[in-house]
């Protein structure tokens, strides 16, 4: 007497998400060929969202070619997942496929905010170039610049795009530029300290046994951390 196999009651979307998490391109392609619903959201996760999270570009391509909505997500949107995980290739693919760049997660966190929080200056620039709104707010009323705390270069990029700065630009130009604020001065010091740390790390890459370089690198890192703490304190005062 033949023994019947265990019945699989999962939906096509659930099977697709499982195959994506396993990284099985063959199973994903077979499920798509068999008519799997590429825009289903089983258990608050869409196939394209999971693919963006795990970072499989081949699967992302297959889903998009099968008609997956690049903005279709559950608790998080695919673009934000790719930004958070640092999958730059997938970020570009999703944007090129027409993803809505300012879609937010359930708490209103948008891709630009996620990139700012991670300190990804290159991704912040990419999203701004693609039309991301730096003045958009999350559910707590915070904009991308609030998420950039601790990342001086990202703050410096976003600051001129804030609503307050836009109002300032409408005022007549002064003959003499205003003196930099304490926060701006610290931002400049942080940038110099970051460059110093990077310079020492490049030298150490050639010889990590150089004790004088190691000592200088340790001191430079401590200086940078102290400056970042000072910057955070001034930033909080400026936002109060």
What's 149's domain CATH number?
1.25.40.20
Query: Are 165 and 201 part of one and the same domain?
Result: no
**Per-residue pLDDT band at 2 (split at 50, 70, 90):** very low
Is residue 69 a part of any domain in this protein?
Answer: yes
Query: Are 93 and 22 part of one and the same domain?
Result: yes
Query: Are 88 and 46 part of one and the same domain?
Result: yes
Query: Are 230 and 196 part of one and the same domain?
Result: yes
pLDDT tens profile 127-181: 999 999 999 999 889 999 999 988 999 999 998 886 544 444 444 455 566 777 8
How confident is the model at residue 170, as a pLDDT? 46
Token readout for 233 is 């304190």
pLDDT tens profile 195-206: 888 888 888 777
Query: Are 96 and 112 part of one and the same domain?
Result: no
Confidence (pTM): 0.66
pLDDT score of 42 more than 50: yes
Query: Are 150 and 230 part of one and the same domain?
Result: no
Query: Are 80 and 29 part of one and the same domain?
Result: yes
Q: Are 17 and 47 in contact (CB under 8 A)?
A: yes
Is residue 177 a part of any domain in this protein?
Answer: no
Query: Are 214 and 148 part of one and the same domain?
Result: no
If residue 88 lies in a helix (H) or strand (E), which one and from where to where? helix 88-96
Is residue 4 a part of any domain in this protein?
Answer: no
Is residue 1 a part of any domain in this protein?
Answer: no
What's the domain count of the chain? 3
Instruction: Looking at 101-140, list the stretches that DSSP marks H as alpha helix, in order from N- to C-terminal side.
Output: 111-118, 121-129
Query: Are 15 and 78 part of one and the same domain?
Result: yes
Query: Are 186 and 120 part of one and the same domain?
Result: no
Q: Are 61 and 89 in contact (CB under 8 A)?
A: no
Token readout for 147 is 């998420």
The mean predicted confidence, pLDDT, of the chain is 85
Among candidate residues 88, 139, 131, 140, the one with its CA nearest the CA of residue 112: 131
Q: What is the dihedral of CA 59, 37, 97, 112, to 10 degrees?
A: -90
| Domain span at 206 | 182-239
């Amino acid at each position: 007497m033949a023994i019947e196999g265990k019945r699989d009651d999962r939906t096509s979307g659930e099977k697709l998400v499982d195959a994506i998490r396993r990284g099985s391109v063959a199973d994903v392609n077979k499920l798509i060929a068999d008519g799997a619903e590429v825009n289903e959201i089983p258990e608050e996760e869409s196939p394209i969202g999971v693919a963006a999270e795990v970072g499989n570009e081949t699967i992302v391509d297959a889903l998009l070619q099968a008609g997956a909505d690049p903005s279709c997500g559950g608790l998080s949107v695919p673009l934000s997942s790719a930004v958070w995980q640092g999958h730059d290739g997938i970020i570009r693919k999703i944007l090129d496929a027409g993803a809505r760049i300012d879609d937010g997660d359930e708490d209103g966190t948008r891709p630009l905010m996620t990139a700012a929080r991670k300190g990804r200056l290159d991704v912040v620039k990419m999203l701004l170039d693609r039309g991301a709104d730096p003045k958009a707010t999350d559910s707590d009323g915070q904009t991308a610049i609030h998420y950039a705390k601790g990342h001086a270069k990202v703050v410096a990029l976003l600051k001129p795009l804030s609503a307050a700065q836009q109002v300032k630009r409408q005022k007549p130009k002064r003959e003499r530029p205003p003196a930099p604020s304490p926060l701006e001065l610290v931002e400049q010091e942080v940038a110099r300290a970051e460059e110093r740390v990077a310079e020492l790390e490049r030298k150490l890459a050639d010889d990590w046994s150089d004790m004088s370089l190691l000592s200088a690198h340790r001191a430079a890192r401590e200086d940078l951390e102290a400056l970042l703490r000072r910057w955070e304190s001034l930033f909080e005062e400026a936002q109060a």
